[in-house]
A and B are shown apart, each in its own frame.
Chain A
């Protein structure tokens, strides 16, 4: 049973640069285990030590976010397409700690508001 998996740039070091790989499994967890057998280390980037899907990635089955499909328990079928994307998030929370690092010769571009 073949499931197409789209790999984001940041994880292509695990797939020899491949943008799309194929795998098999009845659930997302099974699929990731199957992929990890050929692309060692990939699963650890997607699943935490506690066995949950990582906060830093979004995984989709076809057009659905797997968080709404049971996450790692999401059921898969032959011909499904799985897409992995880095979650885009962040923000000023935690700024104070970063400020200490920021003191080194940073060059900022200031644009006057027009």
Chain B
């Protein structure tokens, strides 16, 4: 099961909506071994495509090093599908190279609702898992201002419950 704070899910969804109809992608890092996603890092989709995403290799190197320095790991790797359901494609499965990560998919095909699903992808085998969205003890005002803040030009949103 993936347990993730609502504020982080909201930030991921906002990122996916903002980049729609292109696919959006990113990472939620967390302390190594904790299985707890705490730090949302929206990544650039270097492919800038409606059907493909790819981390910029240099941005990825910087982030992976930073996580190493902070004793973090990529707890969640997310991307959006913008015209299809939130299920890993063959392409997603062939690329999935972080056996410890939760692969979170968001579908933005419906304008008013998001479909959010999470998967483990290990050795080409996809296993869906439940997603538990937690309303953690974050500053309610921060969340509210975020919720009603319309679409910000950039999302550099860190969960204050960290």
Interface membership of A50, Cβ < 8 A: no
Q: Is the CB of B83 within 8 A of A88?
A: no
Q: Is the CB of A90 within 8 A of B52?
A: yes
Q: Is the CB of A93 within 8 A of B60?
A: no
Per DSSP, chain B at the interface is mixed
Contact of A58 among B60, B99, B112, B128 (CB under 8 A): B60
A86-B97, A90-B52, A92-B84 given as contacts; is B113 within 8 A of A112 (CB)?
A: yes
Q: Is the CB of B55 within 8 A of A92?
A: no
Residues of B within 8 A of A86 (CB): 95, 97-98
CA distance A68 to B52 in the complex (A): 22
Q: How many residues of A contact B (CB 8 A)?
A: 36
> Which of A93, A97, A112 is packed against the most chain B CB atoms within 10 Å?
A93
Within 8 A of B (CB), among A44-70: 56-58, 60, 63, 65, 67
Q: Tell me the smallest distance from the CB of B140 to a CB of chain A, in Å.
A: 14
B contact residues vs A (CB 8 Å cutoff) = 9-10, 13, 23, 25, 43, 47, 49-55, 57-58, 60-61, 64, 77, 79, 81-100, 112-118, 126, 128, 130-131, 133, 147
